[in-house]
Chains A and B, each alone.
Chain A
Amino acid sequence: MIELAVNGVHKYFGGLHVLKGVSFAVRGAELIGLIGPNGAGKTTLTNILDGAIKPTSGTVYLNERRIDQLPPYRVAQAGLGRTFQVTRSFRRMTVLENLYVPALAMNPGARQRAFESRALEVLDFLTMRHLRNEFARALSGGQQKLLELGRLLMLDPGVIILDEPFAGVHPRLMEIIYRYIARVNEEGKAIILISHQMESIFTLCRRLLVLHYGDLIADGAPDEVKRDPAVIEAYLGEDEEAES
C-alpha cells in the first residue's frame, strides 16, 4: 500500500515563513483535495514533495523511504509524479516523444520502441492518437494538459499530484480529465488534487486538506471541512457559511 508521510514541514524564503509545520499522511489509493487561497503555500508544498525545493525542516517519506533530500528525478523514480500549474509540455518534441521521456527514464536499458503500444494506448484514452506525431507546440492548451497527464501515465507513479488540472480547459476535455482521475485512482494510485474549482474538488475528493498562509488548518471529509469554522473564516467565506 502506498504511504506518503509529511512530518512537520517548514519552509522559509528569507524572512517569509511559507509553510508552518505541515503534517499529513496519505495511505493507499486516496483522492485528496488540497485547497487554499493564493499564497497559502500549495505550490511550495508540491515543490517540496517532488524534490524541486528542500524543506527548511521536517521530513517527507514515501513508502518508508525519506525523499525530502532527493533530487526530483529520484523522487519521480521513487514513485511520486506531478503536473504543473502552468502546463510544461516539451513543446518542440512530438506527442509520442513527450510520452517516451518518462517511460525511458523509468526503464534504463529499454528501447523507445518497447513503449510504443503503451503510449498509443495512453493516447487513445486521452483521445489524442491522431496527434501522436505532431509537435506539442501545435496542441491547444487543453490538449497540452492532457499530454501532461499522459506523461504521468507513462511514468506510472504511486502518488500523483495534479496542480490545477482544470484551469482553462474546455468542458469536453474536462470530462476526459475526470475519467482520467477516476481511472488512475481505481488503479490504486493516490492522487492529490490542487484546484481552485471547488465544484470539481467537492465532487471528486473524499478528503480535503486546507492550507492557509502556511498552516494546515483542516484535514477531513469534504462535508466536515465545509462546516469547519476556521476554514469558513479563512477561505470559504461568509457566503458558504450562509449557504450551509
Chain B
Amino acid sequence: MRARVPKIAGTLAVAFLLAFPFVYQRADYDYVMHLWITAFFYAILASSWALLAGYAGQFSFGHMAFMAIGGYVAGLFSNYLYFTSAPTKTCLEFAVGGRYLVILDPIGVSAVPRTCLDIARESWPPDVVVSQPSLWWGILLGVLVGGLFGFLTGALVLRLRGAYLALFTLGFSEILRATISAEIPITRGQAGLELAPLFPHGISLLGATYGPQDKVPPYFVMLLLLLLCVAIMMALERSRFGLFIRSLREDEDAASALGVDTVRYKVLVFVVTSMMAAAAGAVQAHYIGIITPNILIIMQMALVVAMAVIGGLESIVGAAVGAILLEFLLEFLRNDFVVAGVVINMSVWRLVLFGALLMLTLRFARNGLVHPVLLWFSRAGVARETVEQQRADEGGTEPAP
C-alpha cells in the first residue's frame, strides 16, 4: 500500500490542478492564476534540468538559453512572418501555394515602425489579404530549433565533464544573451520582442468563452505542457534510455565498457531536455506577451537549479514539485513581517532566506526535500525483503511473499 501512495497523491494533485481555476473564486484570482502558470513554467524547466543534470549527470548551465531560444524563435516567428495574397516586391518573400510567405525587414526599436509590408500595403488594392501563420507553428519551430541547439551543444560537450561542462554551457548562455542584446534591429535588444497572446481571438472552453487576456487558457496550456513533459520524462526514465543515462552519470567509462553508446545518449538527453525548455520558453513568451534578454541572466538559471536541488535532483516529480513550492514560497515571502516592532522588509530579505534554504538543503538533504519522501514510499519493503531473502538463503526456506 505504501508504495502506491505517490501514485494516488499524484492523481489527486492533477485532479486538484485541473479543477482549481473553476473552484477558486477569491478577488486575487488573476494573481494566483499567474503564480500557477509561472510555477508550471519553472516546473518544466526544473524537471527537465533534473533529467539532464540529476539523471544524466550533465551539469549544464545553459538550460535557460534553450528556453530563450524557444521564446525568441516564437517571437521572431510572430513578428516577422506573414502570408499575403499579393507580392510585396519590397520584402523578402516566397511563393507558397498561391500565397506569399513574407519575411519582414528588421523591425528595430523605432516608436512607429514602418515595415516593408506597410510600404507594400500603401500601394495595394483593399482586397489583398494579409494574415499571419498560427502562432502554434512558431512554438513548434521554437521547440525544434531548441532541440537543434541542444544537439549541437550535446555534441560539442561530449568530452567535457563537471566544472568544464558547466562553464562551457554558461558561456553559451552568456553569448546568446549578448547576441540578443546586441542585435537590436532584429531582436529589439533590451526593449524586448512583443508577442501575441496564446489565443489572440479568445477561446471557448467547457461552455465558457475566454478573452485573449484571460488566465484560464494559458493556465491549461502550461499545465498540459508540464504534464506532457513529466509523462514523457517518466516514460524515458523507466526505459533503457533512463537506465543508460543514469549509468553514464555514475561512470561513463564503465557504461561504455558495458556496451552503452554513451555519446548517443548524452546527445539525446541534451536534445530532449532542450526541446522541453524551448517549449516552456515559447509558451511563456506568448503568455507574458514579451521576451527580453533578461530571462537569460544567471540569476534565472540559478533559480531553476535551486528549484531542482531543493525538490530533488534525482527525481523528475521532485524537481517539478520543488519548483512549484518555491515559486509560491518566494511570493509568500514578499510579505513584510513585524518582529518585536521591527518591520522586516522581505523584498530584500526573501532572497537571503531562499539562499539559506538552498544551503541548508545542500548540507543536510542532498537528495532534496521532496525526493526522499517519494523514495521512502517507492522503496517500501526493500530492506525487509533483503533481510528475509538473506535468511531464506542461509536457512534454505522461501522468503515470505
CB of B109 closer than 8 Å to a CB of A: no
Query: Least Cβ distance of A153 to chain B in Å?
Result: 12
Instruction: Check A76 against B250 for contact (C-beta < 8 Å).
Output: no
CB of A91 closer than 8 Å to a CB of B: yes
A107 to B287, CA, bound (A): 45
CB of B374 closer than 8 Å to a CB of A: no
Contacting B at CB under 8 A, from A80-122, are 81-82, 84, 88-93, 97, 100-102, 104-106, 112
Instruction: Check B393 against A129 for contact (C-beta < 8 Å).
Output: yes
CB of B262 closer than 8 Å to a CB of A: yes
A81 to B256, CA, bound (A): 10
Which of B256, B392, B393 is A72 in contact with, Cβ under 8 Å?
B256
Query: Which A residues touch B247, using CB under 8 A?
Result: 90, 93, 101
CB of B246 closer than 8 Å to a CB of A: yes
Which of A82, A104, A134 is B257 in contact with, Cβ under 8 Å?
A82
Query: Which A residues touch B251, using CB under 8 A?
Result: 88-90
CB of A127 closer than 8 Å to a CB of B: yes
Query: Least Cβ distance of B241 to chain A in Å?
Result: 10
A76 to B393, CA, bound (A): 33
Closest to B238 in A: A112
Instruction: Check A151 against B258 for contact (C-beta < 8 Å).
Output: yes
CB of B314 closer than 8 Å to a CB of A: yes
Which of B243, B244, B393 is A130 in contact with, Cβ under 8 Å?
B393
Query: Least Cβ distance of A170 to chain B in Å?
Result: 16
A76 to B254, CA, bound (A): 11
Interface-central residue, A72, A76, A91, A131, by most chain B CB under 10 Å: A72
Query: Which A residues touch B392, using CB under 8 A?
Result: 130
Instruction: Check A88 against B253 for contact (C-beta < 8 Å).
Output: yes
List the 6 shortest-distance A-B pairs measured between CB atoms, nearest first: A105-B259, A130-B389, A90-B250, A76-B259, A88-B254, A72-B256
A interface residues with partner B (beta carbon < 8 Å): 50, 52, 71-73, 75-77, 81-82, 84, 88-93, 97, 100-102, 104-106, 112, 127, 129-134, 151, 155
B interface residues with partner A (beta carbon < 8 Å): 240, 243-244, 246-247, 249-251, 253-263, 314, 379, 382, 385-390, 392-393
Cβ contacts A to B, 24 pairs, < 8 Å: A52-B253, A71-B261, A72-B257, A73-B258, A76-B259, A81-B257, A84-B253, A84-B257, A88-B253, A89-B250, A90-B250, A93-B243, A101-B243, A101-B247, A101-B255, A102-B259, A105-B260, A127-B393, A130-B389, A130-B393, A133-B385, A134-B382, A134-B386, A151-B258
